[in-house]
Amino acid sequence: MRAAEHALMATVPDGTLMQRAAAGLAVAVADLLGGVYGRRVLLLVGPGDNGGDALYAGALLARRGAAVEAVLLAERAHEAGLAELRARGGRVVAIAGAHRPDVVVDGIVGIGGRPGLRPDAAAAVAAFPGVPVVAVDVSSGVGVDDGTLDGPHVLADLTVTFGTHKGCHLIDPAASVAGSVVLVDIGLDLPGAGVTALQAEDVGALLPRPGRFAQKYTRGVVGVRAGSEHYPGAAVLATSGAAAGLAGMVRYLGPAGAAVQARHPGTVLAPGRVQAWVVGPGGGDDVADELAAALADGVPVVVDAAALPHAVPGHPLQVLTPHAGELAALLGTERERVEAEQLAHAREAATRFGCVVLLKGRHSLTAHPDGRVRVTTSGLPWLAVAGAGDVLSGVIGSLLAAGLDPFDATSVGSWIHGAAAVLAGGGGPVTPEAVADAVGRVVSGLPE
């Protein structure tokens, strides 16, 4: 239990927080089942407070007519919760004697648990394949704070968490085993967190908006150095993100000027002052020189794709936007390690290069050198399509040009990019062009 929870418990009657958590858990289980009377509920109960939450929730469900059985996976269990369950007709059974349930409630370990489950707990979890699982607070066996998986763990269909989301609900790979996450407010007064996830209200508050007397230069000019003979489309897509309306003007320097201007006739194909650069999408043999020229301007630079191997350690004006394979190459490690320990590697890269790093993935991580991390949860798997990252680079570049600092520009841009994909595809397949075209509609729907 965290310090803030201890502090709050001193100000409320003993057991109040657990009762609130149990009530929220029972409601979520009932909703999942579509009713309670006559349903079978199996509780997997560990020795801690999560086990107590499960026992009290089981008692509430038994009171409403469910047949509730509990398997105790430790020598001790929450005594008051166990007594309440028995008083309401619940039974304690061995896993071998349990009836096949309609739902399994995972109350094995909580936020104090380590990755992996003991063999007896793993066997209990695996005893009823195909039965939906509801995790109490977190899926047992995952890395709670860092989102890692190491050994057997619960694969939940639904997680009911209390007070705030934990790292394992946001950061992959653990986030991928949480199922749908329901947050129950039990009145905790929690401190600030090192890992956060922007919501629409946050994005709306951070978004730079033009004033009454704005003009194209005051709104920011974003420059794009992208594309090559073999990859002219990357230049078009990066420019599409940059030209989505978040900045006042776009300059393009590169070999794909005709294609860029055919798609975006307002793009300026001439050198001049910019407030931010985007370098690397589809870049050719001269990409190192293009990056050096952009950095020499002394403005923020989004470093993507072909430019990433030429990133300059210790240059704070860079924003690096690698996927897992590219980040592995930057750090001299294996892609599998990056994918297994995403938070640690994103933070390591931000520290080593002294700049903001966006590790792109299902839940992208924006890492600041000071250790702060924002997780993007607004996208969908259909966004994994060639060219989507080029659009994202342009969107981030435009927000930098409009005045956001690198951490805000990157995390806000990633959120908008994900939301635009959902809007463009209606939850289905998307193209990068459609994502860029949907940016304006996402922004227009944000609260101010």
In this model, does residue 6 exceed pLDDT 70? no
- The answer to whether residues 110 and 228 belong to one domain is no
- The answer to whether residues 337 and 373 belong to one domain is yes
| Predicted TM-score of the model (pTM) | 0.94
What CATH number is associated with residue 86? 3.40.50.10260
pLDDT (tens digit per residue) in 134-161? 999 999 999 999 999 999 999 999 999 9
User: Which residue, chain included where needed, has tokens 């030429």?
Assistant: 310
How many CA within 13 A on the CB side of residue 36? 17
- The answer to whether residues 180 and 149 belong to one domain is yes
pLDDT (tens digit per residue) in 200-223? 999 999 999 998 999 999 999 999
In this model, does residue 448 exceed pLDDT 50? yes
- The answer to whether residues 175 and 243 belong to one domain is no
pLDDT (tens digit per residue) in 53-109? 999 999 999 999 999 999 999 999 999 999 999 999 999 999 999 999 999 999 999
- The answer to whether residues 408 and 285 belong to one domain is yes
Q: Which of 144, 166, 193 is the C-terminal boundary of a domain?
A: 193
Q: Which of 145, 166, 193 is the C-terminal boundary of a domain?
A: 193
13 pLDDT tier (thresholds 50, 70, 90): low
Q: Which of 193, 220, 246 is the C-terminal boundary of a domain?
A: 193
- The answer to whether residues 253 and 114 belong to one domain is no
- Cβ–Cβ contacts within 10 Å for residue 319, how many? 27
- The answer to whether residues 16 and 93 belong to one domain is yes
Number of folded domains that form the chain: 2
> What is the overall mean pLDDT for the chain?
95
What CATH number is associated with residue 408? 3.40.1190.20
Q: Could you tell me which residues are beta bridge partners of residue 142?
A: 149
Exposed / middle / buried, residue 182 (Cβ in 10 Å: 0-12, 13-18, 19+): middle
How many helices and strands in the chain, by DSSP H and E? 16, 16
- The answer to whether residues 133 and 54 belong to one domain is yes
How far apart CA 297 and CA 238 sit, in angstroms, is: 20
- The answer to whether residues 251 and 117 belong to one domain is no
- The answer to whether residues 251 and 279 belong to one domain is yes
Q: What percent of the chain has pLDDT over 90?
A: 93
**Measured CA distances, 151 to 89, 119, 124, 142, 319 (Å):** 35, 10, 15, 8, 34
- The answer to whether residues 253 and 392 belong to one domain is yes
Average pLDDT (265-291) is: 97
- The answer to whether residues 407 and 262 belong to one domain is yes
**Measured CA distances, 422 to 293, 321, 359, 382 (Å):** 36, 21, 20, 9
Domain range for residue 301?
200-444
